[in-house]
Amino acid sequence: MAEQILILDFGSQYTQLIARRVRELNVYCEIHPFNKIPEITSDIKGVILSGSPCSVRDAGSPDLDLDRLRGKLPLLGVCYGAQLLANKYGGEVLPSEIREYGRANLDDIDLHYGLLKEMTHGSQVWMSHGDTIKSLPGGFDVIASTASVKVAAFKVQGEETYGIQFHPEVTHSLEGKNLLRNFVVHICGCAQDWTSDTFIDTTIAQLKAKIGNDNVVMGLSGGVDSSVAATLIHRAIGKNLYCVFVDNGLLRKNEYEEVLESYKTLGLNVIGVDAKQRFYDALAGLSDPEAKRKAIGRAFIEVFDDEAHKIEGVKWLGQGTIYPDVIESVSVKGPSATIKSHHNVGGLPDFMKLSVVEPLNTLFKDEVREVGRALDIPETIIGRHPFPGPGLAIRILGDITAEKVKTLQEVDYIFIQGLKDSGLYNQVWQAGAILLPIQSVGVMGDERTYEKVVALRAVGSVDGMTADWIHLPYEFLGKMSNEIINRVKGVNRVVYDISSKPPATIEWE
Ligand code: XMP
């Protein structure tokens, strides 16, 4: 990997945001836990120390040997990182007497120093800290203050070491990106040449070198991550990549055929497996959500293993793992108990013993999308809403039958198509319909009905960790309700889910 910024994580909720802002500047960066610093090679052009929920005054708070870094390469401490620098070299960090949370404005900016170049006096920044730097060590100069925080930013004389007590990575710091640009570009000297195109070129070259003439097998889900990962591997090794796309009978209406077609158009060597019945059999009589998930997981492994065995000489398993799945999280409340699971390796399916190749494991989701677009993957795949692996099985409350799947597929199709036709699809992070295990009384024509209830759900989110229900227009919801009840046999009532996460979850099961 070419030049990069190293971000040392002390457990702040904003650490990933720092990484995303740096990458938006076309500079590659990686997050590592503060206590697992990688070897400082010449590729590392600078280091950012993140914030933390801890206090530097507490015994046992996250710490590191700053002498390893200070003066050797540019260093920027953000919040806790800045307080750690001040505290370690003889300054004083104390609990704040006044609230240092929320918006503040930078005064007395010393524009001589590269970090604050072209920042404007009065620039709004976001503060969020319980401690504050009362006095700086000798040789540390204040380079910006706010009305209530004297040491809003500092620089160490004679070296490119800086500290700031505000958060440049959050959008409330209006010139935060400017500051980060000053650091990574002007101070660290990064070239800003990390783009989707360079990522693609480098990754393809690495994949070629790693895989050579071996065969790779990979399961596709129709989602963004596996599709982009497969396309990259395909560009590197062509037909030696064998993709498997399984119809588990729990996909959306027409999804299997449409996605298979898109994959073929992309030139992927893809084997479609109709395993609907196998999944329905595995699910028969199961109502508990976790039992359903486990049954689906097991059935998938069996089907995939069968297919993988048909391919000669497979050495690698391709996966669409992305960066948030692999960032090692920092436990600030003491080391987390590691529960060792003792796998019986002999008992694992053969494909699980393969070496793993994960070309996207350094990218965030929005970066995966950008790479996908640069690879000319159709927007129908790139822009699609996330969809859970167990599919409609966790949106049919209770047990699963082929008939219930068919009913829900029709309802879901009307809703999703409606969102697309009304230009609402891209304003929603994820949407779907849920088939409830209750019946309600209705009247159609002169007849009393006693039929199923479906719920519609549409949420906005960034990463699925939290979500808000979307205020879809009443006219649109009314139209959906009419269409669903008129067109889907067995449904006589539609409700809209107005719960956010937390306390609800996105899926009902
Ligand atoms: P929840 O319901 O936990 O969902 O708020 C958060 C995100 O995860 C998806 N989800 C799943 N994805 N297997 C998956 O691959 C699962 O078992 C599963 N359960 C939830 C959900 O669709 C949402 O995007």
Q: What is the pLDDT of residues 387-401, one digit of tens each?
A: 999 999 999 999 999
CA 276 to ligand 1 center in whole angstroms: 21
Is a pLDDT exceeding 90 seen at residue 345? no
Which amino acid is present at 396?
I
pLDDT of residue 462: 84
pLDDT of residue 283: 98
**Is any ligand 1 atom within 6 A of the Cβ of residue 293?**
yes
Closest atom, ligand 1, to C-alpha of 507: 2
| b/e map 199-210, b = 16+ CB within 10 Å | bbeebbeebeee
Supply the mean pLDDT for the chain.
93
* DSSP state letters, 89-151: TT-EEEE-SS--EEEEE-BS--TTSGGGTTPPTT-EEEEE-SEEEEEPPTTEEEEEB-SS-S-
CA 390 to ligand 1 center in whole angstroms: 9
Which amino acid is present at 341?
S
**Is any ligand 1 atom within 6 A of the Cβ of residue 150?**
no
Work out whether strand 491-496 and strand 447-460 pair parallel, antiparallel, or are unpaired: parallel
Q: What is the pLDDT of residues 241-283, one digit of tens each?
A: 999 999 999 999 999 999 999 999 999 999 999 999 999 999 9
Contact 50, 9 (CB under 8 A): yes
CA 329 to ligand 1 center in whole angstroms: 20
Domain 395-496 CATH class label = alpha beta
Half-sphere exposure of 33 (CA within 13 A, CB side): 11
Secondary structure of residue 86 in the 3-state scheme: helix
**Confidence class for position 1, pLDDT limits 50, 70, 90:** low
Q: Which of 246, 434, 507, 509 to mutate to test the pocket of ligand 1 (most atoms within 8 A of CB)?
A: 507
**Is any ligand 1 atom within 6 A of the Cβ of residue 388?**
yes
Which run of H or E residues covers position 75?
Answer: strand 75-78
pLDDT of residue 119: 92
Is a pLDDT exceeding 70 seen at residue 366? yes
Domain layout of the chain by residue ranges: 4-187, 201-382, 395-496
**Is any ligand 1 atom within 6 A of the Cβ of residue 389?**
yes
H-type helices in 146-288, by residue range?
Answer: 176-181, 196-211, 224-237, 255-265, 276-283
Is a pLDDT exceeding 90 seen at residue 353? no
**Is any ligand 1 atom within 6 A of the Cβ of residue 390?**
yes
CA dihedral of residues 80, 86, 89, 91 (deg, nearest 10):
-130
Closest atom, ligand 1, to C-alpha of 386: 24
pLDDT of residue 347: 67
Assigned CATH topology for domain 4-187:
Rossmann fold (3.40.50)
Closest atom, ligand 1, to C-alpha of 461: 24
Higher local confidence (pLDDT), 327 or 165: 165
Cβ count within 10 A of residue 9: 27
Thinking of the domain 201-382, which architecture would CATH place it in? 3-Layer(aba) Sandwich (3.40)
Identify the burial level of 490 via C-beta atoms within 10 angstroms of its C-beta, where 0-12 means exposed, 13-18 middle and 19 or more buried.
Answer: middle
CA 508 to ligand 1 center in whole angstroms: 10
Beta bridge partners of 417: none
**Mean pLDDT across 159-176:** 95
**Confidence class for position 129, pLDDT limits 50, 70, 90:** confident
Is there a common fold for 4-187 and 395-496? Answer: no
**Is any ligand 1 atom within 6 A of the Cβ of residue 378?**
no
Report, as residue numbers or ranges, the catalytic residues.
Answer: 79, 167, 169
Cβ count within 10 A of residue 247: 18
**Confidence class for position 333, pLDDT limits 50, 70, 90:** low
* DSSP state letters, 364-399: -HHHHHHHHHHTT--HHHHTPPP--TTGGGGTB-S-
